[in-house]
Structure formats: structure tokens, C-alpha cells
Amino acid sequence: MRHQPTYILFAAICLVAAAVLWLSIIAAPTEDARTSKAWHSMPPATLTAEAIRPLPEQTFQDPRKVALGRELFHDPRLSHDDTLACASCHVLAMGGTDRVARSIGIGGAVSAVNAPTVFNSGFNFVQFWDGRAATLEDQIDGPIHDPGELGSNWAEILRKLRRDPDYMDAFEDIYRDGLHRDNVKDAIATYERSLVTPNARFDKFLRGDADAIAEQEKIGYQRFSSLGCISCHQGLNVGGNMFQEFGVMGDYFADRGGITEADYGRYNVTGEDEDRYVFKVPSLRNVALTAPYFHDGSAQTLQEAVRVMGKYQLGRNLQADEIASLVAFLNTLTGEFDGARK
Amino acid sequence: MTLLRGGYVLMVLVAISILTFVFIRSQTIDPDRHYRITDRLRLLKQYDAILSQDTLKLRANLLGHYDSLVESLDQISGLIADLEAGPVAIVGKGRPEIDRLVESYARAHAERRKMLERFKKRNATLRNSLLYFPSAVEKFLAGIKNQREYERTFRSLEILTRDVLVDYVDKSSGLHPRLQSRIDMLVSLSDRMPSDVGEQISSLMSHARIIGSHKREVSEILEVVLSGNMSNIAENIYNSYQTQHVNSQKTERIFTFLLYMSSVLLMACIINILFRLAQATHRLSQANETLERRVEARTKELTQEIIERKRVEAAAREHQEEMARVLRINMMGEMASALAHEINQPLAAIMNYARGCLLRIRAKKFKRDEFGSAIEEICAQAERASKVVHHIREFVKKPAFSRKPMDLNELVVSAAKFAEIELRHSEVRVEFDLAERLPAVPVDSIQIEQVILNLIRNSIDAMQELEVTSRLITIRTSANNGSALDIAVCDIGSGVPDSIAEKIFDPFFTTKSQGVGMGLAISRTIVEAHSGRLWNTSNSGRGATFGFTIPYRREGESHVL
């Protein structure tokens, strides 16, 4: 009986303390774990009357992710039979493409469209010829699963990659949750974003070096503008920021013949008639290195590509000197990668 | 007490629940989230404005690329995704309204995106045709200027070109409805012309068509995009969020006040409880003190009472002892002749030996050795007499109160010895049936001896009528249940008639002509003073058994008062 007051007092203090603790726990703000785009730190786009803008001289990507992405990009374990890597069709030494009309996938399968260059792909507003992927991360799913390309799936790839202790360590170092699909995608996409080719001669010209391009090339640029090419091929990537119908001023596909499903372009994504034969306007950067041209790889040379564009997109027959100067101009769009022109 | 404690626990739980509710309601606004949302809403307005600006510039051909347009659209999409995914920091009825606004903005944004994609396509083609068409027409006209067969075509193409451009510049010119049919007419004319000229005309007309139709489409798109509808929604979202935020702040303030009030109340309750606990503790200690004082006083009283009782008991015992002694003296008186005989016998023997010695001395014929044995005999007889006297003296002297552990068998034998003369005189045989290894019991040996002697003498008296040869007393001692001792004196005398059975222990009741009637009464008093019991039974054959039981404390047992 004598000890009871102390006992009750102690119990009361314990209860109050527990209540306070509980309240402080439920009141603790929960961390919003979602990572948003870094939109809040980006300044509004600069306004300029110039239609073509020079590429930034460098991009700032996490070097560890870039290194890991480079490994993955060149790793044949991303294909079903361990024969092909991303780099098999996007050869960095060949302008980020494979210089064939349509790439050869695993087991000799032929893919549906021409492989676009991986260089500067981070500046494209959507990915694929038909723009079905909004980001580079989403784009990776395409070639991974396409039976005509890598023909694999994530479960298989992760199984293979997890057997490699070097990968396990590298992922553990960089990512909190280690080797996972989204982190593989992130590493590859980060690497791809680092594949930028600055310092093209034309970029130097845009930056004020009037002697960076020759007289004929200047004439070519002038024609590029006055003929209307620049209506679609503009911006940072000289294209890659809009869709356009292939054959605005003439029926390209009727003239070519042999229409495939891939020729429907964006229609395959939206299902709207308006989008039939509509493709992403490709970037013209490094275009001199990425023959053959168009989604079907039908133009073997730049001259041929320019001629086709003039006929079907501009509705005019370009003269030989026009084509020559335009090609000369297009050659000035070849940039540097790893400090060298490829 | 348990009920009281249960009530306390319930009260504490209720208090905690109320506090928790109030606390949660007073913490509805997460400042971090609020700033993030405000930031996003502000950026939404900002990018919306930039988008409108860029669109205006594009219409005025002040912007040569779509990069900033694409970027603004992407930013807005990201902002919408954020707003739709993350919970808005508002609890209450404002939330659905904001969600609805965001949703409608998202729908309008998707539509706008689609329209701007179409705008980019159409605008590119339009600009191309606008660049090309006038110069191409000029070049074409220059080529056919002096050819008479194309004079009508030349003129109508010249006018058409002018009208197409006027229509392009001035939508309200009213030329558009007729332009289409004039273009169609020129195309049909071109079919009849030589192929190179005809092809050129139809190519020019496709550009003219594009200028006419795309211009309208592009204008319509821009009108919709620039209508301000989206900006209004963005503004509305921002404003209603702010309104709701202010409202929740008001609510929050009310609940914060309530939280403060309930905290104060809770504190008051706790202080009250603590105060009452302190009071209770104080009262308890006071009560303890009082109790202790009362216990002390009562102990004192009880001690006093015990002393008093002991004094009374001592007086009673003294009285009883005195009575017993008187009775013993009386008994000695009754036994006087027998005792006298007992003393007389050795005295007679002494006298004989002494006379014999004297005769021999006078006759002067004696041997030295004969005197020795005679004097030894005299000494032995004198000692015997002295023992008897000593025994009597011991028996009747006023004893000091003393209880020593005694072997009851010894007391039985001693008492029997005392009665020996009377027994011999009355020719009564005594048989002992003594239990072995009886424990020593603390008793007043003289008093217990008195009781046994009294019982023996009663038995002797009871057997006066019997034949001399059959007079027999059996004295038996036995352990009773291990906690008491029985001493029984059994005779085969007249027994106790039923008529007097109830009165035999009463004082002054006697059947003897010379007795005072105090023997059994005092015996009972003595036995009861030893916590024992005096009893009698009738024998199965004849005679009676008188005995008493004295309880004793076993080894290790506590002393009971």
C-alpha cells in the first residue's frame, strides 16, 4: 500500500511519454520519394531567331552511371543468344549506326526499320521513327524485346547480369536498390545522354567563327533555309523535335512501292488516319556518317536523300548545284565525340 | 481499487484519443509539401505563359525552331504528372475541386499537345510553300510570258497568285471561298497543256492549296492555343489552391487552439491527480501514526491487564497451594498413627539394639565386634526414621512455586512409598503398570505426589469391606496420544454409586466418617492448575478407576499461554 502513489505516478508518466512519442511519430512528415524531373531548376528556353542552335559543349551526367552504362551498352548478354549488344547496331565508330538499310538481329532476323544513330538521341523529343517512346529509358524496352533485334526479356537479362559480381558491385555502389530493371535502364539512358557530338564546324560558325565553314557550305546553309528544309530540320538537333508526313508534296510510298506496316509510321501508335506515313523528323547532326537514309534505308547517299526530300517534302526538283551545296552544308554538321570526328 | 484503476486507464485512453484527433487536425498543412505545390502551380502558370509567348512568336515567324515549345510542353506534362500523383496538402472539400481542375487542365493540355504537333507539321509545310510559291510562280510566268497560247493561263495565274497571297495576309478579304474553285479550274486547264507546263502548274497549285488550307488550320490552332483558356485554368488552380490553403490554415488555427486548451486541461488533470496523490500519501502517513499510537496505548493496557491477571493468578495459586498444604497437613494428621508406627518401628529397633548393648556392657561379657554391628543397625534404623520425618516435613512445608521436569513414574513410586505403612496396615497389595520412557513433564512434584497419594488412600478406603487377600490397587501410567500423560489408580472396591457420581469432586462432599471432603476437590484444582483433567470411570468388573491426564508440550512446540 505504501508504494502505490509512486507506482501510479510512474505509470502516468510512462503513458504520457508513450502518447507524446506516438504523436511525434504519426506527425512526422512522410518523405515524398518520387523523383521528379529536374524541371524546377531549369531556366526557361532561351529565345533566338536563329533556327538552328549549337549543341552544348558538354553535358553533365554522373560519370559512374556513364561508365556502367557504357559496359551495358556493349554487353551482348542483353541479347537472347549472347551475340548482340546495343553497340552492335549503334556502332560509335560509325556515327552511332550500322550503315545498313535494316539491322540484322539475333539469328539473322532483319529489323523493320533503319537503325537511327544513338548520338545526340537525348535531344530528340521522342524516340523511334514513330515516336512511340517518350524517353530513352522507355526506348530500351523496344530493341530488348523485338525478336528481330535483341529478342530477350528483362527476367532473362537480369538473371544473366546478376551472375556477374562486377555488375552486382557496380550497381550496389551507385543505386540504393542494386541491380534492377529500372536501374539498368537508367544507366544505359544516362550513357546515351552522354553521347553528344559538339563542336561541329557549323556550331562553331553559329558561335561566331565565320571562317569555320567554307563559302560553298555557307551557300548550302543559305539554301537550306530558303528552300524550306529548315522548317522541319531546326533546333538544337537540326530536327528531332517534331513529326512530319513523309510525302507532303508527293506520294513517296506509291512511287517507291511495297508498302510495309512500318511505313504507316505514327499511325501504328495513334491509330489516327491523320498520322498515316507520319514520322519523327530525324536529326541531321552527323548525317554524313549515317547512310543509308530514311526509315526504310532506301537512300544510299546524301545526294539521293536530299533529292528525295526536295521532291516529296518541298515539292520541287532540286538542281544538281543545289544538292551539292546542301550536301556540303550537311557535312558541316558532323561533330566530335571523345575529341575526334568519326 | 481495481475498478478505480480501470477508470483511470479509460480516462487516460479517452484523453489520448481526443488529443490525437485534435493534434492530427491541427497538423493538416505540411509546409514542405505546401511550398512544393505552390512552386509547381507557379511554374505551371509560368510555362503556360512561355508556351503562349512561343506560340505567338512562331505565328509571327520570330522563332525559327520548336525546341522551346517542346520543352515547355514537356515541363507542363511533368508538372501535371506531379500534381496528379502527389497528394495536395489540403484536407477537406477543397481537394476534389482542385483535383477536378488539374484533371481538366491535363485533358486540355493533352489536346493542346496534339494540336501543336499538327501545328508544327502544317506550319513547316506552309512556310515551305510560302517561300517557294511566289518565286516559283514568278519564274514560271517569266518562262511563258511571251507565248500567246498561255496568255489566259498567264493572266489567271497572276491574279490567283495575288489573291492567294492577299487571302494569306488578310483572312477577312472574302477571297477564300472562290479560291478553291479557281485552283481546281487551273488544274483542269493544265491537264490539256503540254506535260511539262501542266506538271509545273499542278505543282504550283498544290502549293497554293496548301497556303490556303494550312493557313486556316494553323490560324485556328493558334487561336485555340492562345485563347487563354489554359492560362485561365492554371490561374484557377493556383487561386483555388491558395483559397483552400487559407481555409485550412484557419481550421488548423482553431484546432491548434483546441490542442493548446486540451493540453492545459490535461496538465491540470495531471497536477490534480498528483496533488491528490500527495494528499492521500499524507493522510495515510497520519493514519499510520495514529494507529501506531493506539497500538502502543493498547499494548500498555494489555500489559497492565496481563500483570494484573498474573497477580490474581498468583494469588489464586498461592491460595490453592495454601489449601493443598493445609490438606496435606490434614492428611498427615489422618495418617498420623500410621506414620507414628513407621517412626516407632525403627525407634523400637534402636531401643532393642541399644538395650542389648547396654546389657552386655553391664554383664561385662561382650565381644567388641558385636557392638559394631549393633551400632551400625542403630544408625541404619535412625536414618530410616529420619527419612520418614524428612519426608513428612517436606510434604507439609510451605512450598515455593516451582515446576521442574519430573519423571511421573518416580512420583508414583514415591507416593506409594508414603502410603506404604497404610497399605501394609490395611493389607492392600499394590501393582505397578508403568509405561517406559515417559517424557519428563514440568510439574510441581509435591502437589502431584499429593494427588497420587490422595487417590491411593481413597482406593484403600474403598476396599475396607473386601477380603484381606483380594485387596489390590493397580497404578498405571501411560502416554496419551503423545501429547499427554495418564496416571490412573485402579481398585476393585465398592466403586462410585451413580447417585453421588456428580458430587464426588465437590468440596466438603465425603463418604468417609472422618474425612473433611476436600481431597478430590483440591486434587482437581491441582490437576487443572497443570492444565490437566481429573477423571474417574467405573471398572468393568468391580471398583473404580480414578486418574488424571496432564498434557505436555512436545519438543519444539511453541508455548501457549
ipTM of the complex: 0.81
For residues B365-393, average pLDDT = 83
pLDDT, average across residues B474-491: 87
pLDDT at B362 over 60: yes
Which comes out higher in pLDDT, residue A313 or B528? A313
The alpha carbon of B491 is separated from its chain's Cα centroid by a whole number of angstroms, namely 72
- Our CA-based measurement puts residue A68 at a distance from the nearest CA of chain B, in whole angstroms, of 27
Q: Which amino acid is at A265?
A: G
Q: What is the mean pLDDT of chain A?
A: 87
Phi, psi dihedrals of residue B409, rounded to the nearest 5°: -60, -40
Average pLDDT value for residue range B498-504: 79
Mean pLDDT calculated for residue range A163-180: 93
Query: Which residues, 6+ apart, have CB-to-CB distance to A73 below 8 Å?
Result: A85, A86, A87, A90, A188, A191, A192
Q: Which of B510, B515, B513, B536 minimizes the C-alpha distance to B524?
A: B536
Q: How confident is the model at residue B561 (pLDDT cuts 50, 70, 90)?
A: very low
Q: How far from the centroid of its chain's Cα atoms is residue A243's Cα? A: 15
- For A146, other C-beta atoms within 10 Å of its C-beta total 17
The interaxial angle of helices A154-162 and A181-194, nearest 10 deg, is: 90
Distance from CA of A317 to the nearest CA of B (A): 10
Cβ–Cβ gap B66/A235 under 8 Å:
yes
> Confidence class of residue A25 from pLDDT cuts 50, 70 and 90?
low
Residue B433 φ/ψ, nearest 5 degrees: -130, 80
Residues A209-261: tens digit of each pLDDT: 999 999 999 999 999 988 889 999 999 999 999 999 999 988 999 999 889 99
Q: Is B117 close to A232, i.e. CB distance below 8 A?
A: no
For residue A249, list chain B residues with Cβ-Cβ distance below 8 A. 125, 203, 206-207
Residue A33 has pLDDT above 50, yes or no: no
State whether residue A133 sits within 8 Å of chain B by CB. no
User: Using a CB-CB distance cutoff of 8 angstroms, which residues of chain B are in contact with residue A12?
Assistant: 12, 270, 273
pLDDT in tens, B446-465: 888 888 988 888 888 888 88
Q: Does the pLDDT value for residue B285 go beyond 50?
A: yes
Q: With CB atoms and an 8 Å threshold, state whether B68 touches A315.
A: no
Tens-digit pLDDT profile for residues B177-225: 888 888 888 888 888 888 888 888 888 898 999 998 898 888 888 888 8
- Contact call for residues A338 and A252 (beta carbons, < 8 A): no
- Name residue B489's beta-bridge partners: B475, B546
Query: When comparing pLDDT for B267 and A73, which is higher?
Result: A73
Higher pLDDT: B370 or B158? It is: B158
Residue in the structure block whose three cell numbers are 493572266: B155
Render pLDDT for B20-31 as a digit per residue (tens, 0 to 9).
888 887 777 778
B66 with A226: Cβ contact below 8 A: no
Measure the CA–CA gap between B231 and B255, rounded to whole angstroms. Answer: 36
Contact yes or no for A234 and B123 at CB 8 A: no
Higher pLDDT, A75 or B435: A75
pLDDT at A193: 94
Q: What is the DSSP letter of B463?
A: T
Other CB atoms within a 10 A radius of the CB of residue A23 amount to: 16
> Grid coordinates representing B488?
490412573
Is the Cβ pair A5, B19 closer than 8 Å? no
Which residue has cell 551545296? A325
Most B CBs within 10 Å: which of A47, A126, A242, A267, as the mutation test of the B interface? A242
Rounded mean pLDDT of B394-422?
80
Q: Between residues B470 and A214, which one has the greater pLDDT? A: A214
**Omega before A292 cis (within 30°)?**
yes
Q: What is the pLDDT of residue B3?
A: 62
| Confidence category of residue B364, pLDDT binned at 50, 70, 90 | confident
Collect all residues of chain B within an 8 Å Cβ-Cβ radius of residue A23: 19-20, 23
A50, A231, A249 member nearest B127 (Cβ): A231
pLDDT recorded at residue B559: 45
* CB-based contact B124 A232, cutoff 8 Å: yes
Residue B391 pLDDT more than 90?
A: no
The closest alpha carbon to B128, from B216, B223, B215, B226, belongs to B215
> Residue A46's closest chain B neighbor by CA?
B68
Q: Is the model's pLDDT at A204 over the cut of 60? A: yes
Residue A40 clears pLDDT 50, i.e. is over it: no
Of A125-134, A212-221, B49-58, B107-116, the least confident: B49-58
Chain B residues lying within 8 Å of A232, measured CB to CB: 124
Contacts of A8 in chain B (CB under 8 A): 5, 8, 273, 277
Task: Show Cβ contacts of residue B558 under 8 Å, excluding neighbours closer than 6 positions.
Answer: none
| Segment A274-296 mean pLDDT | 94
Residue B168 has pLDDT above 80, yes or no: yes
User: What one-letter code names the amino acid at B386?
Assistant: S
Predicted confidence (pLDDT) per residue in B79-122, tens digit: 998 888 766 556 566 778 888 888 999 999 999 999 999 999 99
Residue A254 contacts B where some CB pair is shorter than 8 Å: no
The mean pLDDT value for A263-292 works out to: 94
Asked if the C-beta of A63 comes within 8 angstroms of chain B's C-beta atoms, the answer is no
Q: Over chain B, what is the mean pLDDT?
A: 84
pLDDT of residue A42: 35
What pLDDT score was predicted for residue B240?
A: 86
Cα–Cα nearest to A114, from A305, A337, A338 = A305
Residue B292 burial (CB < 10 Å; 0-12/13-18/19+)?
Answer: exposed
Helix spans in A74-119 (H): 86-89
Q: Contacts of residue B274 in chain A, CB cutoff 8 Å? A: 9
Residue A3: C-alpha distances to residues A6, A10, B5, B9, B282 (Å): 6, 11, 15, 19, 13
What CA–CA distance (Å, rounded) separates A172 from A188? Answer: 16
Residue B370 has pLDDT above 90, yes or no: no
Residue with more model confidence, B466 or A250: A250
Which grid coordinates are listed for A1? Answer: 500500500
Of B36, B64, B82, the CB nearest to A234: B64
Checking if the pLDDT of B126 tops 60, the result is: yes
In chain A, which residues have their Cβ closer than 8 Å to the Cβ of B255? none
Q: Rounded to whole angstroms, how far apart are CA atoms B466 and A13?
A: 96
Return the closest-CA partner of residue A152 out of A196, A183, A195, A109: A109
CB contact A40 to B (< 8 Å): yes
pLDDT for position A3: 52
Specify whether A149 is catalytic.
Answer: yes
Cα separation, B467 vs B533, whole angstroms: 32
C-alpha cell at B44: 505551371
Chain B contact for A10 (CB, 8 A cutoff): no
Residues of chain A contacting B46 with CB distance shorter than 8 Å: 44
In chain B, the residue whose alpha carbon lies closest to the alpha carbon of A229 is B128
SS3 call for B95: helix
Q: What percent of chain B has pLDDT over 90?
A: 14
Interface mutation vs chain B, best among A241, A246, A274, most B CBs within 10 Å: A241
CA distances A288 to A58, A95, A115, A323, Å, are 22, 9, 15, 14
Q: Inspect the interface and report whether the beta carbons of A315 and B129 lie closer than 8 Å.
A: yes
Residue of B11, B43, B65 for testing the chain A interface, max A β-carbons within 10 Å: B65
Grid cell 511563258 is found at: B144
pLDDT band at A339 (very low <50, low <70, confident <90, very high): low
- Chains A and B: how many Cβ contacts under 8 Å? 150
- Give the per-residue pLDDT at B544: 87
| B281: nearest CA partner in chain A | A5
Closest-CA residue of A relative to B206 is A249
B419 in Cβ contact with B453 (< 8 Å): yes
3-class secondary structure, A209: coil
Query: Out of A149, A192, A217, A322, which one is annotated catalytic?
Result: A149
Is A228 in contact with B30 (Cβ distance < 8 A)?
no
CB-based contact A32 B33, cutoff 8 Å: yes
Q: Would you state the pLDDT for residue B558?
A: 44
